[in-house]
Amino acid sequence: MYYAVKTLCQVMAPIIPFMTERIWQTMILRYGKAEESVHLSDFPKAGVLDENVLTNVNTVREVIASGMKLRNENQLKVKQPLSILYLDNALQTVCDLYSQAIKEELNVKEIIFLRDFSSLCDEYLHLDFKIAGKVLKEKLSEIKQALEKSLQEQMLEYVKKYRSSENIVIEGISLTPEMLALISKDKPNIKRMVGNFAVALDISVSSQLKAEGCYRELLRHCQVLRKEAEFDVADRVKFQFHTNSSYLSSVISDYKESIERETLSEICELKSYKMERKVEINDEMLIIKID
C-alpha cells in the first residue's frame, strides 16, 4: 500500500501538485523515508512487475467473471448472498490467497475446492435401447417406465450394482450392465461452467440467505435516499418504513440494529420528513421516509 501510494503521488504530482504534496507530507514522510518533497523525488521507472502475481490475479479475475456469469444466467442479483462456490482443486493455491476478495465479489459464504465435480451430480441409469431392445422386446417400454419411476434410494442402489458390474432386477427381469447406460446430471441447485477450469455455484437460497438479501437491498435503497436528500456522509438521520408485507416487516425488525448502524440512522415514527421513496424489494412494495 505504501509503495502504491508513493508511486501514485510521484506520477500525479505534475497534474495535482498541491494534493500530492499534502499526501507526501502527511503519509509518505510519516511512515517511511523519502525526499523532502514529492517534487524533489525522481519520477518512477516502469518495469517493477511480479509476473507470478499478475498471473494469479488474472486467474482470480477469471474465477470471478465465471461466477458473475452464472449469477446473471440464473437471474441472481449480487446483493443476494449464496452459500457455496465450488472451484477446481487445482486453483486452491492461488485462490486461497484471494479467498476473501472472491467471496466479497461474488457474495458467497464459503469456497469449496473439489478434485472432481461428481459429488455435485445425480447419477441414474438409462436403458441402452439398441442392446436392451433385442433382449426385452415387447417388455422394453414397461421396464423403461419402471426404471424411470425408481425412487432416489433405489436408483442409488442400482447405480452401485452397475458400477460393480452386477445384474439389476426390475419387474422380475434381470438386466445386465451392458443393457444399461450411466447418466450424470448436475443436481437442480447446482449451476456449473467449464472453461479453462470448472466453476460451480449452489444457487439454492435458504430462508436466512433470502432475508439477508432483502436486508442488503434495503440498505442500498436507504443509502441512495440519503444521497438524494443531500445529507452529508457523517450526518445522523431518521428513517420510517411502511409496508403491507409481513415478510419485509420481519426483515426490518430482525436487522433493525444493523440498518441503524450501517446508515447512521434511527428507525422511528416521523411526524414530518424531508423526502420519501417507494421501492420494490423481493416483489414487495416498501415506502421509505427520511428526515
How high is the pLDDT of residue 283? 86
85 neighbors 114 (Cβ within 8 angstroms):
no
**Torsion angle, CA of 215/218/220/224, rounded to 10 degrees?**
-160
Closest-CA residue to 81 (of 207, 213, 199): 213
Grid coordinates 442488503 are at which residue? 216
How high is the pLDDT of residue 133? 80
The residues spanned by each domain of the chain are 2-40, 51-118, 120-186, 208-290
82 neighbors 108 (Cβ within 8 angstroms):
yes
User: What CA–CA distances, in Å, run from 127 to 122, 141, 159?
Assistant: 17, 10, 13
How high is the pLDDT of residue 244? 92
**For residue 133, how far is the Cα from the chain centroid?**
46
Q: H-type helices in the chain, by residue range?
A: 2-12, 17-23, 29-31, 51-73, 92-95, 99-106, 129-136, 140-148, 152-163, 207-228, 246-254, 256-262
The DSSP bridge pattern shows strands 82-88 and 108-114 to be: parallel
Q: How far apart are CA 30 and CA 58, in angstroms?
A: 34
Q: What does the pLDDT look like over 52-93, one tens digit per residue?
A: 888 889 999 999 999 999 999 999 999 899 999 999 988 999
Q: How far apart are CA 61 and CA 30, in angstroms?
A: 34
Q: Return the DSSP state at 124.
A: E
User: Average per-residue pLDDT in the chain?
Assistant: 88
How high is the pLDDT of residue 48? 66
Q: How far apart are CA 61 and CA 69, in angstroms?
A: 12
Half-sphere exposure of 245 (CA within 13 A, CB side): 19
Q: How far apart are CA 66 and CA 201, in angstroms?
A: 10
Q: How far apart are CA 64 and CA 61, in angstroms?
A: 5
| Grid cell of 52 as nine digits | 507470478
| Grid cell of 279 as nine digits | 421501492
Task: Map residue 81 onto helix, strand or coil.
Answer: coil
Residue 174 pairs in a beta bridge with 169
**For residue 290, how far is the Cα from the chain centroid?**
31
Grid coordinates 458467497 are at which residue? 108
Q: What does the pLDDT look like over 98-122, one tens digit per residue?
A: 999 999 999 999 999 988 887 888 8
Q: How far apart are CA 284 and CA 244, in angstroms?
A: 8
pLDDT tens, the chain, 291 aa long: 888 899 999 999 999 999 999 999 999 888 888 899 999 998 888 776 778 888 889 999 999 999 999 999 999 999 899 999 999 988 999 898 899 999 999 999 999 998 888 788 888 888 888 887 888 788 888 888 888 888 878 888 888 888 888 888 888 888 888 888 888 888 888 888 877 888 999 999 999 999 999 999 999 999 999 999 988 888 899 999 999 999 999 999 999 999 999 999 999 998 888 989 999 998 889 999 998
33 neighbors 52 (Cβ within 8 angstroms):
no
How high is the pLDDT of residue 140? 82
Counting every residue written for the chain, the total comes to: 291
Half-sphere exposure of 242 (CA within 13 A, CB side): 8
Instruction: Spell out the residues 6+ positions from residue 265 whose beta carbon is closer than 8 angstroms to its own.
Output: 222, 236, 237, 238, 239, 259
Closest-CA residue to 237 (of 279, 276, 284, 211): 276
